[in-house]
């Protein structure tokens, strides 16, 4: 059996659960993950070790000889990990960046994860931008975040993993006296000739600005040049009121004074949101966070694309992986 330089402890946990249950559905329920995600983790472990660990059929799951050989080693690794955490007392909080207090997707996932793992602490942090968060994920000072994974630099993506969570419908924030403010929804074509703010110049959010460029390309809509970097809702609101540019947002964006928020249509642009974490992350509450994301994506239909929905092709490819 070839050895790998590094094995993610989560993959070993997936293997042990299936080995003990000999049933993927029961093992997935035990780990609070989707069966598809569990199967993917087991296949990844098999690829990294270069061997089949299970014989799968429509009626049963059985360990191969290499699977039998791996099981005691995997149990010892997981036991050592538990002992290490125990030696330092209660596990540290899982730190999750939600980007903004008013955004719904990450907040709902975190709240559900707290219900699934009441014995662990999951702490929210609010900073803008997945690119900024990615640096901290890789450094180990942050555990998870939400955002557009395809918009990250490939060098950042190489050290991270993601789980598709939602296609968020996009919207535009308009001054309440803007000529389009009276519309219930704004067709993209109606923005032709407008200059729309989409975070240009913010070093934490280039993935959002890139999404705007892809959406506006060929439609006669300009991306506003960099504005003074505003820290905090009050300063952002002040700067936007001064510049009076329409602002690209999502339909769940919290309200700003003297503005209206209108969904975009024809087509309906979608912001692909993933749960993102660093490769090899191991934390007793992390499985609950992933399970919460899977559960809400399913029950709320967050990953159903409308017939007239639009996303960049690069995002579509990553969401299918």
Domain count, the chain: 3
Give DSSP secondary structure letters for 95-125: EEE-S-TT-HHHHHHHHHHHHH-TTS-EEEE
Burial of 307 (0-12, 13-18, 19+ CB in 10 A): exposed
CATH number, domain with residue 244: 3.40.190.10
Residue 274 has pLDDT above 70, yes or no: yes
Question: Residues 267-273: what's their mean pLDDT?
Answer: 97
| Residues 179, 124 share a domain | no
pTM over 0.75: no
Question: Residues 194-201: what's their mean pLDDT?
Answer: 91
Is the residue at 1 inside a domain?
Answer: no
First to last CA, the chain: 27
Under a CB-based contact definition with an 8 Å cutoff, are residues 165 and 293 in contact? Answer: yes
pLDDT in tens, 13-64: 899 989 988 988 888 876 766 788 889 999 999 999 999 999 988 778 999 9
CATH number, domain with residue 61: 1.10.10.10
Residue 1 has pLDDT above 60, yes or no: no
Portion of the chain with pLDDT greater than 90, in percent: 59
Is the residue at 3 inside a domain?
Answer: no
Tell me which DSSP letter residue 189 carries. Answer: G
Q: Between 299 and 202, where is the model more confident?
A: 299
Residue 90's pLDDT band (boundaries 50, 70, 90)? Answer: low
Tell me which DSSP letter residue 141 carries. Answer: S
Under a CB-based contact definition with an 8 Å cutoff, are residues 236 and 133 in contact? Answer: no
Is the residue at 258 inside a domain?
Answer: yes
For 225, phi then psi, to 5°, come to -70, 165
Domain range for 223: 168-269
| Residues 150, 280 share a domain | yes
pLDDT in tens, 103-147: 899 999 999 999 999 988 899 988 779 999 998 899 888 999 999
| Residues 208, 247 share a domain | yes
CB atoms within 10 A of CB 195: 15
Q: Which of 87, 120, 140 is the last residue of a domain?
A: 87
Q: Which of 269, 286, 310 is the last residue of a domain?
A: 269
């Amino acid at each position: 059996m070839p050895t790998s330089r590094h094995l993610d402890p989560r993959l070993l946990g997936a293997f042990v659960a299936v080995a003990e249950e000999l049933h993927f559905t029961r093992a997935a329920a035990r780990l609070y993950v989707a069966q598809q995600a569990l199967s993917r983790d087991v296949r990844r472990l098999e690829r990294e070790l270069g061997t089949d660990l299970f014989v799968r059929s429509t009626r049963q799951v059985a360990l191969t000889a290499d699977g039998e050989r791996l099981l005691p080693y995997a149990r010892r690794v997981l036991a050592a990990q538990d002992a290490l955490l125990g030696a330092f007392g209660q596990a540290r909080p899982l730190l999750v960046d939600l980007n903004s207090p008013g955004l719904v997707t990450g907040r709902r996932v975190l709240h559900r994860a707290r219900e699934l793992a009441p014995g662990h602490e999951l702490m929210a942090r609010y900073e803008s931008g997945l690119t900024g968060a990615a640096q901290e994920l890789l450094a180990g000072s942050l555990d998870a975040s939400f955002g557009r994974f395809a918009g990250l630099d490939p060098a950042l993506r190489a050290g991270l993993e993601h789980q598709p969570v939602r296609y968020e419908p996009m919207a535009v924030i308009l001054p309440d006296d803007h000529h389009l403010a009276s519309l219930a929804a704004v067709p993209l074509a109606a923005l032709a000739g407008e200059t729309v703010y989409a975070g240009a110049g913010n070093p934490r959010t280039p993935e959002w600005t890139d999404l705007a460029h892809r959406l506006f390309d060929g439609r006669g809509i300009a991306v506003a040049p960099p504005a003074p970097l505003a820290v905090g809702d009050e300063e952002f609101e002040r700067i936007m009121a001064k510049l009076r540019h329409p602002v690209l947002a999502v339909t769940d964006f919290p309200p700003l004074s003297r503005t209206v928020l209108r969904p975009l249509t024809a087509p309906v642009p979608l912001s692909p949101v993933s749960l993102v974490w660093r490769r090899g992350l191991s934390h007793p509450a992390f499985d609950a966070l992933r399970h919460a994301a899977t559960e809400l994506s399913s029950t709320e239909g967050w990953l159903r694309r409308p017939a007239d929905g639009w996303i960049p092709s690069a995002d579509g490819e990553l969401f299918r992986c």
